[in-house]
Each structure stands twice: as C-alpha cells, then as structure tokens.
Amino acid sequence: MVFFFLLGLVSFAIYGLSDGQGALVLASIISGVSFACFLILFAIYWIGYLLRGHAIWLAEQQAGSGGPSVDQQSEA
C-alpha cells in the first residue's frame, strides 16, 4: 500500500516536471494506476480492521451474556 502511494507521488512529480508528450502520457498512466491500487488496498485494509473490531466486540458481548446459545434450553 505504501509502495503504490509513493510510486504515485513520484509519478505525479515526474508528470509535473516533464516537458515531453510521451513522458506526460506515461507518467499520468503510472500515477493513475498507482493511486487506484493504493485506494483499493487502503479500502481493503480498513474493511479488515473494522471487521476485526466487530469480531472482538461480538466475542465480548457473547462472553458477557453466557455465549451464543443463552436463549435456547438444553435438551436433557
């Protein structure tokens, strides 16, 4: 994720400093793809982080209430 972010910044800097048409096209393509990859990986990271937090919260709630089968009576 950090690699794509840095690659996008470098490509954006090359885009701003270049004066040839071929370099502009190549730098803009690399910059766009790098930032798109960064955004996708950033979203995946935060979704995983939120799901992990939810799983921890859910486990705490189930442990506090006696487990997931509190409402069911045991058959004995």
Helix H segments across the chain? 2-17, 21-65
Q: Which residue has better confidence, 40 or 14?
A: 40
CB count within 10 Å of CB 8 equals 20
Is the pTM here over 0.75, yes or no? Answer: no
The domain spans of the chain are 2-64
Which token pair is 58?
């859910």
How large a percentage of the chain has pLDDT more than 70?
86
Average pLDDT over residues 31-43: 88
